[in-house]
Structure 1
């Protein structure tokens, strides 16, 4: 199902779109079984997109604003060259919607907006080509494009428009799905395919059909890539949702025909650097197109460092063209493995959860033959190790460890891989001391010599070892275990802080090695005695389908503070929490509380399509559930016994039907302690 309105003007007005409005990014459950349909074997025999296209698209960073113009596009081409992105493999500089005037000329031709592109599209293409790059353009398989201004679509003008694109020197066409007048998707997209072929100019053909008609089952001989989901947004929940929808489609991808989970959000500001590295890692493991969606004119060194990681890009661009497959995903701990042409495996250990997690697999489990030892290359640390077969790491919250594992006979020249970990993800109260245990485990075939470990925290924290921090030698599978006491200063604000665990050691040949991992810990505030409104208490963490979770207002869906009074079936509630499926709010109860109560339902700010379900969890156990609620229902009471729970989690799901108008309110929500 699809969302009735979105956060950008482009997606608000879509006219007579067959089947409804634009897809959401619903948090789908991981589908590990292969789809019932056999994948089509054919692919365009034109030699294009033999690896996933890499480049830039302006939409996520500029939309239809006036800054989208000739100077900006040329500037992006210059940045590709100056910043080394061209050398990293990025080639396409793609224009999205709003490049044309709202009306065709007297001959039915498209007209570039003279304010944005005073010298026309061909002049821009010539400039981009002069840099050794390629130009892409956008239109829709309907009468108008997706922007609310309604620029001309290509339906009924396919051959004329395709020829214009060819005459301008266009190398890539993104073909959207708005205002399609109910014309069959295969017919619409096949017609443009034939029109592009008729021009004689090679153009990569991107079907932006949102996965509505399962293009992975029929489009491999139509285009070079097809969108598998609705539009991505710059949030962890959106990225995660799209990742889960795209992962099960691995068998349909290959050279010349790729699953497209939409553009990269890396650098747009809505996620952390750790989350952006996960985004980039997982898109690469999925052999997804890598189309930069951030404003490269303002890109930080951190953003460029992610986008320019050539070892990760090599995973995406591997000529074998395999999309990674899911080996496991229990508890949000994902192992995804991708077969590489040289026989190695790229392995992503991806942590969906909000706390550090140990994620483990083996070389044989990811498809490598039995061997005495293996070479393990960490693609973010840019370091090589040896392993006896274990592939394991403590992965930070929302993080990804991406490695490449091979049967390289030269494994012994590398130091052994070691795994670092804390025995728990601590919750700390200011002014108190907590005891923690750390481990350093040798995963390698060779021993680790002169091992030492250090745990450090933010300035002002006291971290003291209560047991040995060194070991003369660790053999395969052996661990150095150290007890620590960590004291948080009085007055420390609630929030997430990093404890950094670092190990130093030597290989048998005397080569120094070190590795470290940031392990998020949360400083919490004990809840007050009595009854408190959950809309007023501190929250440990939140995730939300669209926009932020709101305090004492409805969700609003876009920016913080854009909600309305919480209203369920005509009744207004002064207090509560405004969420949007899929949503989670974690609250520290400190084992001192007894009961959660609320009145829950779908907020009236949405139409008649909302279906949600509410759940209350206590320390990992579900203790209450509302069942499915709709817009037509009044608020329903929900309560749960949370006696002795350290953490209470409030969850809103889409009730299993896909996210559509799912604004869920925890009205009058209270915690009794």
Structure 2
């Protein structure tokens, strides 16, 4: 949660990635020695030796009336009934709004009798009886972050800590609002001392949003510290936080963890593919896993993600290493995490809006040289062997998470294969398109009797144009495949599912089937002449806060809540309103020549915000601006996009975070 009294909201994600990487890299050698010394002291109490796992109500309920005693006890019941306790989830944590707005005559905190009629100790006793632990929330200020102004702990640290201990609290989230300008390290250290004075073991979560770089000083203060602003249930928010948290790997370890905020899995703002990425990335980053959805309403798909024990084992590995970036070119991320048994957890993460092949090697992830390796797919729950290549075609916004080890049992597993389709399938209705793909044996053993198929929606025509079978594929060899695909005339523009499937046998005769879900876009050819882009259908649109808007500013989080576009005092009737980080793509069908726009920050945010604009044509940057501020008038931007099949309009962060980065593509036009 954020500073309500300063107008800073959950929108404010903190430091820009570039600046954070540079400062972390520069400080890392000197900081590492001091950090390790303080980290040893922090882990001496035996708490949080692996990242805490549990639940926090805030992301699903905020301060609504359904946050109450019945909910908390119901979550504890579900931890047991659904197997989440057995998977490692322990903490059932209360967030803001559990107390009355005023302390009692003795200066004590008073639980809200409407929400918690039996008090906090009774709830703690209920949770403890289930073999679980209870967490609570307050702020290192005079009031908490909620606008209702519940009492904070500044000046009451020892009294409040004593109350928490007497109630049986096991975890404290300590926020940062209304802090009266008192030094952060001082405020958080005082509460540490107060908690220790109680004699009760209480995990201490520092929530000051990374503003004072707690990774540099908090290892002997708390057990975990927030590295970013608050997460929201959107792809852009999750992605921005990943990029801020990844460079901080040297600071994490047993008893002292980087905390990129709670999980949004199951809250509905992202797809299941994106939620699997969210869960995979939090696990490879050794992040606390605090469920943020109301489990009483969660879907089976959400439970399947949250209960994936193979992925949880990556997060909970006792070595306590946070994953580090091996490569990230073109939005193709490879993140490797050293495990206690010598294996590596490797995330192949596709940031982009189209499927991409992502590849690395066992050597690049830090594994020793070996004849072959065992590779376990942690979402398929299946073992393979690989000669050393780790690769997959990863769906848009998807993550393939594997665990790779140099061991002597690799020969007992079938060879891993890489199944892929070239490019991003774009089809005009009624017009045949050729889609080409490959099946490649990555294993040390051959794949035999290989067969490949491609299926599309009912009524589509899918015919092979090349051979789709092979007797055998030795190590590193590929079968090239090709299909002629036709969407029926009149098929509406939009996204449609395709499935590429390969079947093969291992040397022992085991039949293995692999599938690659893909998305084909049925597109409309662009009109001749010059058109406003806001009048044309887009292929995809990602906006960092709220949806992209047509002919209005971005506004706030809801659709259609923008205002007339205005940049530097000039009004525009047409254009696109977005919020950094944003990416809108249009199909141009190799028939267009030029994109023009007046670009700048919308006047609706006053003097705040810095952004840069880019126009991309088929993966190549065709035009860009330098960093623009709200003090600048609209800047004309023109790009030559001759021959491009897809054009993308991208807005990036200007270097100071994405707060108030409402950006406009005013009068954006396409000439074909």
The one-character-per-residue Cα deviations of 1:540-576 (angstroms, maximum 9, x if unpaired) are: 1111111111111111121111111212233332211
Give me the whole-angstrom Cα distance separating, in 2, the residues matched to 1:25 and 1:587: 30
TM-score (norm 1): 0.96
Counterpart mapping for 1:66-85 below 5 A: 66-85=65-84
Q: What runs of 5+ residues in structure 1 fail to find an aligned partner?
A: 1-9
Query: Number of aligned pairs?
Result: 662
Corresponding position of 1:14: 5
Q: Structure 2: how far apart are the matches of 1:25 and 1:182?
A: 18
For 1:122, the equivalent position in structure 2 comes to 121
1:339 corresponds in structure 2 to 338
Match of residue 28 from structure 1: 17
Partner residue of 1:505? 504
How far does residue 22 in structure 1 lie from its aligned partner after superposition? 7.7
Contact 2:552 2:564 in 1 (8 A): yes
The 1-side partners of 2:563 and 2:321 are apart by 47
Residue 251 of structure 1 and its aligned partner are, at CA, apart by 0.9
Superposed CA deviations along residues 321-344 of structure 1, whole A, max 9, x for unmatched, are: 111111111111111111111111
Alpha-carbon contact 2:361-2:388 (below 8 Å) kept: yes
Question: Please, which moves more after superposition, 635-644 or 133-142?
Answer: 635-644
Residue number in structure 2 paired with 1:484? 483
Distance 1:313 1:338, change over 3 A: same
Determine helix, strand or coil for the equivalent of 1:65: coil
What's the secondary structure of 1:76's corresponding residue? helix
Which residue in the other structure is 1:620 paired with?
A: 619
| 25-34 or 187-196, which deviates more | 25-34
Aligned residue in 2 for 1:180: 179
- Kept in 2, the 8 Å contact 1:598–1:669? The answer is yes
Partner in structure 1 of residue 390 of structure 2:
391
Deviations 1:144-186 (A, max 9, x none): 1111111111110000110111111100000011111111110
Residue 633 of structure 1: how far off its partner (Å): 2.5
Q: Which runs of 4+ in 1 moved over 6 A?
A: none
The secondary structure found in structure 1 opposite 2:660 is: coil
Structure 2 Cα separation of the partners of residues 15 and 584 of structure 1: 30
CA distance in structure 1 between the aligned counterparts of 2:592 and 2:252, rounded to whole angstroms? 51
Give the Cα–Cα distance (whole angstroms) in 1 for the partners of residues 477 and 10 of structure 2: 56
Q: How does 1:578-589 map to 2 (within 5 A)?
A: 578-589=577-588
Q: Deviations over 1:265-295 (max 9, x none)?
A: 1111111111100110010000000001111
Partners of 1:23 and 1:243 lie apart in 2 by: 15
After the TM superposition, which of the residue ranges 572-581 and 92-101 deviates more from structure 2? 572-581
How far apart, in 2, do the equivalents of 1:417 and 1:280 lie? 24
Q: How does 1:166-565 map to 2 (within 5 A)?
A: 166-565=165-564
Preserved contact between residue 53 and residue 92 of structure 1 (Cα < 8 Å): yes
Call closer, same or farther: CA 1:16–1:653 in 2, change over 3 Å.
Answer: closer
What displacement does 1:16 show?
Answer: 10
Deviation at 1:600, TM superposition (A): 1.8
Q: Give 1:27 deviation, angstroms.
A: 6.3
Shift of 1:422: 1.3
Residue of structure 2 in register with 1:6 after alignment: none
How many angstroms apart in 2 are the aligned matches of 1:189 and 1:561?
A: 42
The alignment partner of 1:627 has SS state of: coil
User: For the residues of structure 2 that align with 1:460 and 1:630, how far apart are their CA atoms?
Assistant: 51
- Give the deviation of 1:11 after TM superposition: 3.9
Spell out, residue by residue over 1:348-389, the C-alpha distance to the aligned partner (whole angstroms, 9 max, x if none). 111111111111111122111111111110000010011111
Conserved? CA contact 1:577–1:666, under 8 Å:
yes
1:613 Cα shift? 2.0
Q: Partner of 2:668 in structure 1?
A: 669
The equivalent residue for 1:86 is: 85
Q: CA deviation at 1:35?
A: 4.8
- Please state how far the C-alpha of 1:657 moved relative to its aligned partner: 2.7
Maintained 8 Å contact 1:35/1:249: no
CA contact (8 A) 1:16 1:180 kept: no
CA distance in 1, matches of 2:422, 2:509: 30
Helix, strand or coil at the partner of 1:296:
coil
Q: For residue 162 of structure 1, give the secondary structure of its aligned residue in structure 2.
A: helix
Deviation at 1:538, TM superposition (A): 0.4
Output the CA distance in 2 between the equivalents of 1:249 and 1:181. 28
Q: Distance in 1 between matches of 2:305 and 2:314?
A: 14
Task: Provide structure 2 residue ranges, at least 5 long, that are not aligned to the other structure.
Answer: none
**Is the CA contact 1:53–1:291 (under 8 Å) kept in the aligned structure 2?**
yes
Rounded Cα–Cα distance in structure 2 between residues aligned with 1:627 and 1:480: 45
Query: CA shift at 1:15, angstroms?
Result: 5.1
> How many Å separate the matches in 2 of 1:363 and 1:643?
41
Secondary structure at 2:605's aligned position in 1? coil
Distance 1:474 1:339, change over 3 A: same
1:567 aligned onto 2:566:
yes
8 Å CA contact 1:25, 1:241 repeated in 2: no
Deviates more, 1:491-500 or 1:58-67: 491-500
- The answer to whether the 8 A contact 1:27-1:237 is kept is no
Distance 1:268 1:22 in 2: 18
Deviation at 1:26, TM superposition (A): 6.3
Q: What is the CA distance between 1:641 and its match in structure 2?
A: 2.2
Once the two structures are TM-superposed, the CA of residue 637 in structure 1 deviates from its matched residue by: 2.2
